[in-house]
């Protein structure tokens, strides 16, 4: 059973509720409701009525196919077919129209025309021919119904009638297959020799980040375990050398590091003394490079940093403050500050490595995690996620049993620690890595431009500009690009109603899930989402539960959840989890009204979903009814 959704239906309805905007050359199906002098008439198209000038006199009440001949000054219409007799079938009417427009009577043209007549949407001759070509060459996995829905959206929302937009809409409306799309692109990249191998490696690394969003957390635990081993005087020299080797191969420690001097700080650009550093590595760098006149201020900065760091435990803070007090009473020479910086560095490394296991997804007020603080002490100024993911790769590839055991333990710890914060972090990692908001960030000049350039979307754009890449690689890249563009085209703002569509491929410990989130709600005057009223639909495709739809409706912070799945035992399995869900919602100041688990109703596949939100909306194309 394949799920599909029509995420822009609310937008379409808002467009259709506005006065009908006709363009020259368009054809539509309408009824003459009133006649006026000078061959003027009132014409009804769906729920819209307008006054136009007719080229030939007609009779009120007759239904015709009209073509717009002019919109300058006043709308002028030409009759394409005579009155539609009640005895004519829909097929006969379509054939008559196609014959009068000198168009071939192909099955695809008849399907497109029939759909637009049914939906009361004007369409031009050129658009019909373009749509026919699209219908004849549909991509694999795209149904004709999905294609017609995409073409309708393009016409309704006055989007450019281009192949790129069409592909983005049909690919963006899918609720599964994102993982397969990424994997196929990775395979094509690996099999292709490219002139710019560095660009190829960067794109492959970023794709790997997308499908393994928690690898950085696994790398954080591996880093902490390696540091523990190096710090443990009772560990065997062989184990300490293995730990040192993987940290050097991952690029975290310099190649000249040894078992005896691996904690030595690496020089990097430091902050001015007037700025309070947020990274532990920056703090140590300031201390190590201090001038005697700056010593008093820097010792005070160390004290403030320790007291305000929410990641450190109370005992660790007490031990570090004792160190600060001891050095504050000594003569403030350059040599004293270097020793002070070295000891602060060693104690902070030990402290962060100790708490990494228990504070896996925790962050301080500046948004820094334990692994980021630990890495800043070992490799100041480095990009943490890339190094930690590289550490995972190096460890997985290592032939040493001790290292393999560390990997197994690290993955198990991450799996046991996964909670709502972990899921939130994973989704943020995926969306950031995909580059969904790349254009918006560039337009608003927000975020690190260099970091933005490492996301998937700009790298795909650069790849597609290379005319020499093989056709198979280009096709794979275009499919993924279409899905990314589709998310943006299907999201939008219609007055106070806002819609957001996100496709998130997730991989947790070998379990893959394609998740599509569709949020409908409104924006407050300050431009932020109104969290009191919303409707969120989750379309999930999971290895164990297969297709699942979660419909969450929020009314004045009261939450009702309907879960649709074919597993008859799901209700029993979910029962013990209801209380934790209720508690979790209460923590966010929401109240759970009810959670209901139902099976799909396949008999009403084309029936709409009716929302109980403040703004009544209808969603077509979902094989469930709520």
CATH of 22-101, one of 2.40.50.140, 3.40.50.720, 2.60.40.10, 2.40.70.10: 2.40.50.140
Q: How confident is the model at residue 531, as a pLDDT?
A: 87
Give 363's contacts (C-beta < 8 A, 6+ positions apart): 311, 369
Q: For 581-609, what is the mean pLDDT?
A: 76
Q: How confident is the model at residue 314, as a pLDDT?
A: 92
Greatest mean pLDDT range, 259-273, 297-311, 350-364, 486-500: 297-311
Which range, of 66-80, 125-139, 266-280, 423-437, averages the lowest pLDDT?
266-280
Nearest 5°: the CA angle 317, 416, 512 is 130
**C-alpha span between 555 and 552 (Å, rounded):** 10
> Environment class of residue 464 by beta-carbon count within 10 Å: exposed (0-12), middle (13-18) or buried (19+)?
middle
Residue 286: closest CA among 303, 259, 267, 304:
267
Residue 459: closest CA among 206, 235, 178, 224:
206
Q: For 196-203, what is the mean pLDDT?
A: 87
Strand partners, 506: 513
Reduced to 3 states (helix: H, G, I; strand: E, B; else coil), residue 614 is coil
Per-residue pLDDT reduced to its tens digit, 257-309: 898 888 865 655 555 555 666 788 888 888 888 888 888 888 898 999 999 99
Strand partners, 617: none
DSSP string, 174-224: BSS-HHHHHHHHHHHHHT---S-HHHHHHHHHHHHHHH-TTHHHHHHHHHH
**How many residues belong to the chain?**
626
Considering Cα of 96, then 97, then 98, then 101, what sign does the dihedral take? positive
Higher pLDDT, 21 or 199: 199
**Contact indicator for 50, 89 with CB cutoff of 8 Å:** no
Position 562 confidence tier, pLDDT thresholds 50, 70, 90: very high
What's the mean pLDDT when you consider all of the chain?
A: 82
Statement: residue 349 has pLDDT above 90: yes
Q: How confident is the model at residue 83, as a pLDDT?
A: 67
Give 401's contacts (C-beta < 8 A, 6+ positions apart): none
Q: For 405-432, what is the mean pLDDT?
A: 84
Count of Cβ atoms closer than 10 Å to residue 477 Cβ: 22
Residue with tokens 């970091």: 451
**Contact indicator for 23, 70 with CB cutoff of 8 Å:** no
Enter the tokens of residue 512: 């893959």
Statement: residue 374 has pLDDT above 60: yes
Angle between helices 9-16 and 144-156 (to 10 degrees): 40
Q: Where are the domains of the chain?
A: 22-101, 215-414
**Contact indicator for 613, 553 with CB cutoff of 8 Å:** yes
Q: How confident is the model at residue 312, as a pLDDT?
A: 92
**C-alpha span between 345 and 284 (Å, rounded):** 6
Q: For 595-615, what is the mean pLDDT?
A: 54
Position 607 confidence tier, pLDDT thresholds 50, 70, 90: very low
Q: For 4-18, what is the mean pLDDT?
A: 43
State what percent of residues in the chain have pLDDT above 90.
27
**C-alpha span between 33 and 275 (Å, rounded):** 74
**C-alpha span between 574 and 352 (Å, rounded):** 37
**C-alpha span between 436 and 505 (Å, rounded):** 13
Reduced to 3 states (helix: H, G, I; strand: E, B; else coil), residue 601 is coil
């Amino acid at each position: 059973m394949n799920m599909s959704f029509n995420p822009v239906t609310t937008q379409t309805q808002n467009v259709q509720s506005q006065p009908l905007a006709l363009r020259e050359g368009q054809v539509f199906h309408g009824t003459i409701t009133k006649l006026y002098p000078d061959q003027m008439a009132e014409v009804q198209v769906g729920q819209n009525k307008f006054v136009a000038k007719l080229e030939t006199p007609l009779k009120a009440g007759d239904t015709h196919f009209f073509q717009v001949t002019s919109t300058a000054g006043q709308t002028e219409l030409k009759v394409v077919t005579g009155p539609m007799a009640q005895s004519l079938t829909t097929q006969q009417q379509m054939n008559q129209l196609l014959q009068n427009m000198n168009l071939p009577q192909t099955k695809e043209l008849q399907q497109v025309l029939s759909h637009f007549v049914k939906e009361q949407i004007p369409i031009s001759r050129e658009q019909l021919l373009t749509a026919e070509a699209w219908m004849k060459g549909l991509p694999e996995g795209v149904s004709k119904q999905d294609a017609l829905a995409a073409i309708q959206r393009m016409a309704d929302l006055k989007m450019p009638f281009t192949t790129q937009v069409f592909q983005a809409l049909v690919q963006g409306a899918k609720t599964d297959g994102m993982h397969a799309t990424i994997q196929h692109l990775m395979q094509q990249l690996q099999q292709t020799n490219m002139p710019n191998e560095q660009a190829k490696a960067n794109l492959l690394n970023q794709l790997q980040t997308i499908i393994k969003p928690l690898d950085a957390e696994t790398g954080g635990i591996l880093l902490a375990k390696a540091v523990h081993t190096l710090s443990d005087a009772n560990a065997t020299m062989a184990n300490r050398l293995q730990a040192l080797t993987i940290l050097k191969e991952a690029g975290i420690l310099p190649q000249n590091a040894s078992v005896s001097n691996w904690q030595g700080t690496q020089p990097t650009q430091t902050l001015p003394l007037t700025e309070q550093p947020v990274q532990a590595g920056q703090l140590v760098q300031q201390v190590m490079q201090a001038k005697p006149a700056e010593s008093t201020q820097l010792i005070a900065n160390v004290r403030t940093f320790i007291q305000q760091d929410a990641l450190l435990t109370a005992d660790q803070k007490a031990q570090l403050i004792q160190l600060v007090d001891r050095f504050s009473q000594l003569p403030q020479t350059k040599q004293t500050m270097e020793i002070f910086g070295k000891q602060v560095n060693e104690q902070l490394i030990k402290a962060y490595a100790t708490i990494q296991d228990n504070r896996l997804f925790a962050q301080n007020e500046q948004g820094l995690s334990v692994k980021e603080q630990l890495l800043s002490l070992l490799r100041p100024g480095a990009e943490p996620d890339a190094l930690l993911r590289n550490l995972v790769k190096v460890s997985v590839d290592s032939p040493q049993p001790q290292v393999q055991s560390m990997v197994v333990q690290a993955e198990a710890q991450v799996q046991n620690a996964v909670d709502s914060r972990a899921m939130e972090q994973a989704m943020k990692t995926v969306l950031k890595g995909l580059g969904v908001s790349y254009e918006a960030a560039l337009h608003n000049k927000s975020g690190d431009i260099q970091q933005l350039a490492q996301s998937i979307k700009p790298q795909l754009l650069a790849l597609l500009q290379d005319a020499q890449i093989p056709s198979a690689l280009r096709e794979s890249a275009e499919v993924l690009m279409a899905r990314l563009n589709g998310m943006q085209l299907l999201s939008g703002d219609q007055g106070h109603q806002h819609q957001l569509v996100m496709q998130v491929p997730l991989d947790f410990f070998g379990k893959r899930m394609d998740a599509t989130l569709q949020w409908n709600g409104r924006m407050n005057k300050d431009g932020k989402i109104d969290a009191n009223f919303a409707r969120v639909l989750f379309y999930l495709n999971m290895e164990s539960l297969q297709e699942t739809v979660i419909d969450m409706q929020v009314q004045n912070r009261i939450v009702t959840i309907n879960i649709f799945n074919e597993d008859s035992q799901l209700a029993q399995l979910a029962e013990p989890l209801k209380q934790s869900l209720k508690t979790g919602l209460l923590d966010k100041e929401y109240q759970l009204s009810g959670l209901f688990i139902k099976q799909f109703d396949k008999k009403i596949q084309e029936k709409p979903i009716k929302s109980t939100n403040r703004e009544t909306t209808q969603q077509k194309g979902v094989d469930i009814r709520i």
